[in-house]
A = this chain, B = another copy of it.
Amino acid sequence: MPIYRAPTDDIQYILNDVLQIEKYNNLPGFEDLSPDLLKAILEEGGKLAENVLQPLNQSGDAEGCTRHEDGSVTTPKGFKDAYKQYIEGGWQGVTSDPEYGGQGLPYILGIALEEMCVSANHSFNMYPGLTSGVIASLSIAGTDEQKQKYLTKLISGEWAGTMNLTEPHCGTDLGMMRTKAEPQADGSYKITGTKIFISAGEHDLTDNIIHMVLAKIPDGPDGVKGISLFLVPKVNVNDDGSLGDRNGVVCGSIEEKMGIHGNSTCLLNYEEATGYLIGEEHRGLAPMFIMMNAARIGVGVQGLSASEVAYQNAADYARDRLQGRSISGVKNPDGPADPIIVHPDVRRMLMDTKAFNESARALALWMGILVDQSRKSPVEEDRKKSEELAGLITPVLKGVLTDLGYQNATNCQQVLGGHGYIKEWGMEQFVRDARIAMIYEGANGIQALDLVGRKLAQNGGAAIRTYFEELDTFISDNDNDDMAEFNASLKAATDDLKAATMWLMQNAVGNPDNAGAASTSYMHLMGLVALGHMWGKMAATSLQKLADGAENADFHKNKLITARYFFKRMITDTSAHLKKIEVGADVMMDLPADAF
C-alpha cells in the first residue's frame, strides 16, 4: 500500500521564509494569516489528505464509477462519506468570498491545499476542483441573483459544478461547436447538444450539479465569436432555493480511461435543458477563460502532486529495499545487501524528482501570490505587473509541471523495479493518473502555443520584459560569493531564455510556423528558468538562515545540496532547448503529410 505524508513543513518554509507572505498582510485575506494560523490550516488540510482521501485512492481506482441505466452514476465506495467530511470541514470554500459563505483566505492557500489533496487522491479532488472553477467564473460573471441562487450552495459544497466545452468533433477548436441555445420568452434558453469528456459530469456526491455550458445562440456570429456561456442545473432550482424537476441533461455514458477511474468522465446529452445566460450573449469565452486559467494553475499543481507522492513512495522503497552492494564499497555490512539508495543511478531518479518537487511547489505558490496581488493589491502598478507575470507563467506552470510530473512519476515507478509495474504497490496508478494532466484544460502543446503565440506578444512583449527584469534584479541582488555557484547557472539559463526570445522576435513574424516549431522547447526552457529562479530564492533564503544560526540547520543544508543538484544537472538543459528552437520550422514542415 502506498503512503502519503503531507509536506506541510516545506510549504511553510516556502510561504514564510522564501516568499515571506507576511509582506502581503495589507491584502484582504492575508491580514490574520499568522504563521500559527497558517500552520494550523495546513496541518488540518494535511490530515484530511492523509487520513480521509489517501486511503480511498487505490480502492477508488480499482472500483471506478458506475453508470446505471437511468443515467445516474455511483462514485466508488467511501467517496460520498469523504466528500461529506470535506465539505463539513469547509474546505470547498476556503478561498471563496465570505459574502457567500466562503472563508476568504488567500488564493495561495488554495494552491497549497490542492497540492496535498491531489497527491492523496487525484480522482476525488476533481469533484471539488471542478466546483471551484464554477465558483470562480460565477463570482466574476454572474448576476447578483445568480450568485444568491447558486453561489452559496457551491461554496458550501452542497452542490457541485462542471465545465462543458468539448464536443465529439471539437475540443481545442471551439468555433466548430454545435450545441444550440434557443432563447425563450422568459429570458431563459433551451440547450440542446452533446458534450463529451465532462469531468465529474454526473455523480452521487451532491443533490444538484451546476453545469457551465458553452453553446451557440442561433443566428449569432460564426466561430468563437458566437459562443455564449450558460448555467444549466442538473435539477431545476425553485425561486425559494428548493429543488424542482430534473432538467433535460442526462449522462449518456462514462468513459473508460487510462486512469482517474474514481472520477466520472461523462458524455452529457442536453435535450432542451433550461439554461441561464452567464454574462453577455456571444461573449461566453471570457468567463469560461476565467475558469480555464484558474483550472490551468490547478492542473499544473496536479503534476507536482503526482511527482511528490510518487517520490515519497520511491524514496521509502529505496531506503528499505536491500539488493546488491554499493559500487564504492559495502555500506550496510550487517545486512544481506545494501539498500538501493546507495546506488547513484537510483539517487539520480530521486534527486531529479526532489529538485523538481521543491521548486515546482515554490513556483506554484509564487504564482498564488501573483494571483492574489493581481486581484487584491491596492497599488495599480502591482496589480498590473502581477497579472502580466501570472498570465505569462500560467501556461508554463501547466505545461512544464505536468510534463515533468509524469516523467518523475515514471522514474519513481522505475525505482521499484518489477514491483513498480504491479498494481498493488500503487506506483503505476500515479503514472496513469498523472498522464491526464498533460492533456486536459488545453493539451500541453496548446499551452506552449498560448505562451509563444499570445503571451509573449501581448502588449508589445510587456510581460516577458517584466519577467526578465524580475530575473535580472534577482541575479544582481545575489551577486555575492555564497550565491555565486547558483547564480552563475541561473544567469546562463536566463541568457538562453533571452536568446530564444530574441530568436522568436526575429524569426516568427515572417514565418509563424517558427513559433509553433519552437513552442514546446521554449516552454520547457522557460520552465527550467522559472524553477531555477525558485531554487535561487530558496538557496538565498537557506544561506541566510544558516548564517543566522537557524535551529533546523540540516533542513537548510539539504536545501543547498538539492539546489546544487538542480543547478549542476538540471537547469543546464536550457542550452539543448535553445539549440532546437534555433533550428526553425522547415525541418518539421518539409515532409509531405502522406509520408508520415
Contact = CB atoms under 8 A, between A and B. Distances in A.
A594 B453 CA distance: 45
Interface string A561-575: 110110011001101
Interface string A389-418: 000000000000000001000100110011
Given A258-B423, A424-B256, A588-B344, A583 B569 contact: yes
Contact of A318 (B337, B440, B511, B596): B596
A384 interface: no
Given A170-B323, A256-B423, A517-B344, A350 B596 contact: yes
Interface residues of A, number: 97
Interface stretch (A27-35, A207-215, A283-291, A429-437): A429-437
Interface stretch (A143-151, A234-242, A441-449, A498-506): A441-449
Interface stretch (A18-26, A113-121, A171-179, A293-301): A171-179
Interface string A553-586: 0100010011011001100110110011001010
Interface in A172-190: 172-173, 176
A520 interface: yes
Contact of A572 (B422, B431, B511, B579): B579
Given A422-B257, A520-B345, A595-B554, A417 B580 contact: no
Contact of A513 (B171, B328, B417, B439): B328
Contact of A347 (B197, B420, B589): B589
A271 interface: no
A431 B438 CA distance: 14
Interface string A316-348: 001100111011100000001101011111111
Interface in A462-519: 511-513, 515-517, 519
A564 B587 contact: yes
A406 B414 contact: no
A464 to B, nearest CB: 19
A256 B354 contact: no
Contact of A343 (B171, B257, B516, B579): B516
Contacts of A367: none
A360 interface: no
A202 interface: no
Contact of A341 (B257, B410, B444, B596): B596
B513 A354 contact: no
A421 B257 contact: yes
A315 interface: yes
A255 interface: yes
Contact of A439 (B421, B431, B596): B421
Between A171, A258, A350, A424, the greatest number of chain B beta carbons within 10 A of the residue's beta carbon is seen for A258
A315 B596 contact: yes
Interface in A336-387: 336-337, 339, 341-351, 354
A547 interface: no
Contacts of A57: none
A354 B257 contact: no
A590 interface: yes
Contacts of A348: 517, 520, 588
Contacts of A37: none
Contacts of A594: 319
A515 B327 contact: yes
A152 interface: no
A554 B258 CA distance: 38
Contacts of A513: 326-328, 344
A166 interface: yes
Between A323, A344, A575, A587, the greatest number of chain B beta carbons within 10 A of the residue's beta carbon is seen for A344
A341 B593 contact: yes
A466 B495 CA distance: 40
Contact of A351 (B176, B259, B515, B591): B591
A345 B448 contact: yes
8 cross-chain pairs, A with B, having the tightest CB-CB distances, nearest first = A344-B516, A258-B428, A344-B517, A315-B596, A576-B576, A327-B512, A256-B423, A345-B445
25 contacts: A170-B323, A172-B323, A172-B324, A172-B417, A258-B421, A315-B596, A319-B594, A319-B596, A327-B449, A328-B512, A341-B596, A344-B519, A345-B516, A345-B519, A347-B588, A347-B591, A348-B588, A406-B410, A410-B435, A417-B443, A421-B439, A432-B432, A565-B588, A569-B587, A573-B576
Given A341-B593, A569-B588, 5 more contacts: A350-B596, A406-B410, A413-B435, A417-B439, A558-B595
